[in-house]
Structure 1
Amino acid sequence: MASAENDYLEKRRQQIARKQRIFTYILLFGFGGSILIGGFNTVKQAWEKPKQPVVVQSAETELQKQTKGYELVLQREPNNQLALEKLSIIRLKSGDIKGAIALMEKLVKLYPDRQDYKTVLTDVKKRMAQ
């Protein structure tokens, strides 16, 4: 009787092991298939997608856009601190030192407690004098 029971248990283990292998193969096949299909779709989309030209903007064009934006803000709000500050920086970068000094003087006038505005203004005036 112990032999029949051992045979039954052995057959049962073999059946379970076979089912596990089949299930593992099915999962591996499904996983591999999904990777292949995803890769195929990616390649297909890249192939079909028309190449878009890369738009390269110069730094000068970008500065001009920013300048226009801050000038529009200052038309609506003449005392906007951020717009005055950023526009003065842009004008310094573009070489318009007189325009930058005018904006910095306005900042110093509006915000006399800000020492950094005063310092930058004196530094720019020194550079202009040289």
Structure 2
Amino acid sequence: MARSGDDYLETRKRQIERKKRIWTTVSIISFFGSIAFGAVSTIQRAIQNPPQVTPTQSAEPSLQEQAKGYELVLQREPNNQVALEKLSLIRVQLKDFKGAREILEKLVKQHPDRQDYQVILADIKKREK
């Protein structure tokens, strides 16, 4: 009698394992199917409605607006590291190397362990010459 109990447990164990494999397979197929469906839909939309090409505008006014925003932040928080970093990058893009150098010198003083600030500062000093 104990033998049939063991057989039942083995049979039940195999059934459970088989169900797990089936569910895993169905889940994987569903996952990749949903990805494929999304990709096909996106490609169809891109083909049917190509993006509108607008004339390129100068980025300078946008950069100047961003610079003003960071300057306002720095008026409230003069040592805001993120605002200082972003403003220095914007000034480099605007070719205002003197302004970028002043900000980076402040960042190097505040964070002497940051090598990237020192490297960028040295590069800006070369560009100023």
TM-score (norm 2): 0.55
* Aligned twin of 1:127: 127
After superposition, the C-alpha distances for 1:21-44 in whole angstroms (9 at most, x for unaligned) are xxxxxxxxxxxxxxxxxxxxxxxx
Matched to 1:116, the amino acid is D
* Aligned twin of 1:77: 77
* Aligned twin of 1:22: none
After superposition, the C-alpha distances for 1:2-36 in whole angstroms (9 at most, x for unaligned) are xxxxxxxxxxxxxxxxxxxxxxxxxxxxxxxxxxx
5+ residue gaps, structure 1: 1-53
Map 1:1-130; keep pairs closer than 5 Å.
58-129=58-129
* Aligned twin of 2:47: none
Q: Deviation at 1:57?
A: 5.5
5+ residue gaps, structure 2: 1-53
Greater RCO between the two (CA within 8 Å, min separation 6)?
A: 2
Structure 1 residue ranges (4+ consecutive) displaced by more than 2 angstroms after TM superposition: none
Q: Answer whether contact 2:89 2:100 (CA < 8 A) is retained.
A: yes
RMSD: 1.8
Structure number with bigger Rg: 1
Q: Deviation at 1:127?
A: 2.0
TM-score (norm 1): 0.54
Matched to 2:122, the amino acid is T
